[in-house]
Structure 1
Amino acid sequence: MQNKSMFVEQAQESLENTDTGKNFDDDGRPKRTGSVVTASAHIITAVIGSGVLSLAWAIAQLGWVAGPAVLMAFSFITYFTSTLLADCYRSPDPVTGTRNYTYMDVVRAHLGGIQVKLCGIAQYGNLIGVTIGYTITASISMVAVNRSNCFHKYGHHVKCSTSNNPFMIIFAIIQIILSQIPNFHKLSWLSILAAVMSFAYSSIGVGLSLAKVAGGAHARTSLTGVTVGVDVSASEKVWRSFQAIGDIAFAYAYSTVLIEIQDTLKSHPPENRVMKKASLVGVSTTTLFYASCGCLGYAAFGNNAPGNFLTGFGFYEPFWLIDFANVCIAVHLIGAYQVFCQPIFAFVESRCHKRWPDREFITSEYAVKIPFWGAYYINLFRLVWRTTYVILTAVLAMIFPFFNDFLGLIGAASFYPLTVYFPIEMHIAQSKIPRFSFTWIWLKILSWACLVISLVAAIGSIQGLAVALKTYKPFKTQN
């Protein structure tokens, strides 16, 4: 669903007669059938992902007071700005205006100029960062399966150290193969499978945490999180708190697909009204789920909560369930990687086709017959470009194989521009809110406050990456 419209300009279909028009919407495209239920499901699927794995660690850095408070603050801000963005789907009027099919189309319609380029940089930068982050996370989960079996066989005292790099290479090879499938977004079964895997491993994490707490585990927790002088130094406490904010921001980064989800809704009732209801349902559900993962994880592990609560081995048994959860993570991220990289492929390839329409290397398709498959069409440019992209993301993942630090950086970089800045600026432009009016002032205060929070989170994550690089040992599993 996300890829079908994300960043891809689709040709308008003409209405030939009245009977045909019954099957098409006001813009000439096939009639949309989405509802509150489907949109809510899409939002929940888009939001719940690998970010949930770091929430126990994030709550441990902030404590019982600040941790849930920051989680709720991001929830409220995300919901509020998503309602502003929902009104911008049509322009200039939110109910009767012209449809905009992608986030960049919405920015182009309401702000225009350099803002469109800035939006593109933020969006595609976020997509690239997510594919690198997914390579890291998937390899860590693959390593965790190997280590889990080692611990079960030789005991928990054994180091069982394993390098992430071979598993990143395996993940990259799988992605190179999958990336060569044209129109990958039509394989909806993979998105459904990825969503099921996401719920599976998240639920296993919550269940194991609950079982550990119910079993009488007395982990050391506090109102302010990790203790200065006991768990960390004063400077480490500050940096980790900043990084934790970035991790929580990453968990709520779904605004990039909001317009694409709204573009699936039927026209009546108005899409913006339905989308606001769906956002409330989706964000409320995911916040409840996140709070369960974060707070139960912190209660189970205390101030020693691992960065990834399914691969940090706070849980050793039952080892088969840990293995299954980590396999679910790997399968989910194999599909999720394609969801996020396909828009990048489509953008680059469409630009190259427009610029060099006569280059045979770019445009020619060569048919190859594959047994039990049929004819498969190979495009040399697609083969080289997509393979190069996957290799580059794998190399960057090998250079920065640090789960929490990288997620925090992605969250900090994408949350402010895509979740806060553009929705607020477009709402001001669409509603023609007067400068220095009360509404204008408090919207600007919210925007600037979120900018400061994002900068703080980015600084903390960069510092975490710098420290991790200094102490990095290639054959020590990074979590």
Structure 2
Amino acid sequence: MGHEADCKFSNNPYMMAFGAVQIFLSLIPNFHKLTWLSTIAAITSFGYAFIGSGLSLAIVAQGKGEPTSLSGIKVGPGLSSEDKMWKIFSALGNIALASSFATVVYDIMDTLKSCPPENQQMKKANVLGITTMTILFLLCGGLGYAAFGDHTPGNILTGFGFYEPFWLVALGNVCIVIHIVGAYQLMAQPLFRVVEMGANIMWPHSDFINKEHSFKLGSLTFSFNSFRLVWRTIFVIVATIVAMAMPFFNEFLALLGAIGFWPLIVFFPIQMHIAQKSIKRISFKWFMLQLLSLICLLVSLVAAVGSIRGIAQNINKYKIFQYKQ
């Protein structure tokens, strides 16, 4: 009974409900129409980060924190040096995933007014946003580690790190759910747009792909596109089924981060910068940019290998759609 009681339940109903919500939101045609959702998601991200940091700080202030070290979990009977190395590689993938916001910047710029210039607005927004979130989440991660030490859960709010006050922990979890709902759309909408633009280029005369249909519901008018309806719905359903079948949260996040980090966040922006600024080949600046790209490629590769190994290990613990205790 109590905190040590056995806790077994299925996440599948919650994942199905989450998928149903995402199908509805995914059918909203334009990225800028989701501004309200991204604003709420940003606010809730501050909410759960502050709650996690505050509860961790309370534990540390009470003298109940766990001993920590700069090198992290100690190598010993429960952890070999090889396993620790793989965990570090997987963690690099999780960190790389945080950089994936850069792929959304272009869509955000498309929604801005031309005056003042878009590049000036985005530069200020990036500096302010990145600085704030870096400080906030480093604070959350550092205090969480100080509170739980080597036993820090992957998510200090959902990993049974805290139990009381119950209402505050529950509020933090609500913030996480709302944030993930918005984050899903924030990351999926650019993919939706790329696929639909590609289909439009390939089949410009297809009514199935290009024709918009409208209907009225009372005083409200709604529009839908057949291709958008079918392809986005299938995408969300497949993603939901995969999540239900293999819910390796941290490992899959690390793999996604590793896959997208180098090509989308580093390589293409660097090549565009070189072309825009007409940087000469073999010059010092060109060499340093290529060195940065190479280092980030290596980070992506080791992160991908580490996350794939983590997924392979966890497959042995899972039955399809059901966790094996």
TM-score normalised to the size of structure 1? 0.61
- Tell me which residue corresponds to 2:40: 193
State yes or no: 1:344 paired with 2:191. yes
- Tell me which residue corresponds to 2:244: 398
Superposed, 1:284-295 pairs within 5 Å as 284-295=131-142
Query: 1:367, CA displacement in angstroms?
Result: 4.8
- Tell me which residue corresponds to 1:460: 306
- Tell me which residue corresponds to 1:430: 276
> Residue type of the partner of 1:225?
G
- Tell me which residue corresponds to 1:322: 169
- Tell me which residue corresponds to 2:126: 279
Q: Which of 86, 89, 92 is matched with 1:242 structurally?
A: 89
Q: Note closer, same or farther for the CA distance 1:256–1:379 as it changes in structure 2 (3 Å cut).
A: closer
Q: Which of 167, 173, 179 is matched with 2:14 structurally?
A: 167
Query: 1:227, CA displacement in angstroms?
Result: 1.0
- Tell me which residue corresponds to 1:382: 228
Alpha-carbon distance between aligned partners in 2 of 1:292 and 1:477, rounded to the nearest angstrom: 35
State yes or no: 1:415 paired with 2:261. yes
Q: 2:246 touches 2:318 (CA, 8 Å); kept in 1?
A: no
Alpha-carbon distance between aligned partners in 1 of 2:317 and 2:66, rounded to the nearest angstrom: 27
Q: Note closer, same or farther for the CA distance 1:366–1:469 as it changes in structure 2 (3 Å cut).
A: same
State yes or no: 1:299 paired with 2:146. yes
Deviations 1:142-189 (A, max 9, x none): xxxxxxxxxxxx511112211222211111112222333444642432
Higher mean displacement: 464-473 or 258-267: 258-267
- Percent identical among aligned pairs is 52
Give the total of aligned pairs: 323
Q: Note closer, same or farther for the CA distance 1:189–1:283 as it changes in structure 2 (3 Å cut).
A: closer
> Residue type of the partner of 1:337?
Y
Residue aligned with 1:199, SS? helix
Alpha-carbon distance between aligned partners in 1 of 2:28 and 2:274, rounded to the nearest angstrom: 42
Query: 1:464, CA displacement in angstroms?
Result: 0.7
Q: Note closer, same or farther for the CA distance 1:382–1:212 as it changes in structure 2 (3 Å cut).
A: same
Query: 1:370, CA displacement in angstroms?
Result: 2.9
Q: Which of 295, 298, 315 is matched with 1:469 structurally?
A: 315
Q: 1:162 touches 1:476 (CA, 8 Å); kept in 2?
A: no
Q: 2:254 touches 2:303 (CA, 8 Å); kept in 1?
A: yes
Deviations 1:247-281 (A, max 9, x none): 1121233221334445536555x655564444333
Query: 1:322, CA displacement in angstroms?
Result: 1.5
Deviations 1:221-251 (A, max 9, x none): 1221111114412221110011111111212
Q: 2:245 touches 2:322 (CA, 8 Å); kept in 1?
A: no
Higher mean displacement: 435-444 or 164-173: 435-444
Alpha-carbon distance between aligned partners in 1 of 2:11 and 2:296, rounded to the nearest angstrom: 35
Q: 1:194 touches 1:333 (CA, 8 Å); kept in 2?
A: yes
Q: 1:231 touches 1:303 (CA, 8 Å); kept in 2?
A: no
RMSD: 2.6
State yes or no: 1:443 paired with 2:289. yes
> Residue type of the partner of 1:204?
I
> Residue type of the partner of 2:65?
H
Q: 1:198 touches 1:328 (CA, 8 Å); kept in 2?
A: yes
> Residue type of the partner of 1:167?
Y
Residue aligned with 2:222, SS? strand
Q: 2:53 touches 2:144 (CA, 8 Å); kept in 1?
A: yes
For structure 2, list consecutive stretches of 5 or more residues without a partner in the other structure: none
- Tell me which residue corresponds to 1:202: 49
Residue aligned with 1:435, SS? coil
Alpha-carbon distance between aligned partners in 2 of 1:378 and 1:412, rounded to the nearest angstrom: 35
Alpha-carbon distance between aligned partners in 2 of 1:184 and 1:252, rounded to the nearest angstrom: 20
TM-score normalised to the size of structure 2? 0.88
State yes or no: 1:213 paired with 2:60. yes
For structure 1, list consecutive stretches of 5 or more residues without a partner in the other structure: 1-153
Query: 1:203, CA displacement in angstroms?
Result: 1.3
Q: Note closer, same or farther for the CA distance 1:287–1:344 as it changes in structure 2 (3 Å cut).
A: closer
Alpha-carbon distance between aligned partners in 2 of 1:362 and 1:423, rounded to the nearest angstrom: 31
> Residue type of the partner of 2:180?
L
Q: Which of 72, 75, 81 is matched with 1:225 structurally?
A: 72
Alpha-carbon distance between aligned partners in 1 of 2:114 and 2:246, rounded to the nearest angstrom: 43
Query: 1:326, CA displacement in angstroms?
Result: 1.2
Alpha-carbon distance between aligned partners in 2 of 1:377 and 1:280, rounded to the nearest angstrom: 37
Alpha-carbon distance between aligned partners in 2 of 1:424 and 1:384, rounded to the nearest angstrom: 36
- Tell me which residue corresponds to 2:4: 157
> Residue type of the partner of 2:217?
I
Q: 2:41 touches 2:182 (CA, 8 Å); kept in 1?
A: yes
Residue aligned with 1:218, SS? coil
Superposed, 1:94-105 pairs within 5 Å as none
- Tell me which residue corresponds to 1:106: none
Alpha-carbon distance between aligned partners in 1 of 2:34 and 2:11, rounded to the nearest angstrom: 29
Alpha-carbon distance between aligned partners in 2 of 1:274 and 1:381, rounded to the nearest angstrom: 34
Alpha-carbon distance between aligned partners in 2 of 1:436 and 1:381, rounded to the nearest angstrom: 47
> Residue type of the partner of 2:76?
G
Q: 1:409 touches 1:458 (CA, 8 Å); kept in 2?
A: yes
- Tell me which residue corresponds to 1:29: none
Superposed, 1:119-134 pairs within 5 Å as none
- Tell me which residue corresponds to 1:118: none
Superposed, 1:340-379 pairs within 5 Å as 340-356=187-203, 359-363=206-210, 367-371=214-218, 374-379=220-225
Query: 1:383, CA displacement in angstroms?
Result: 2.8
Query: 1:475, CA displacement in angstroms?
Result: 4.2
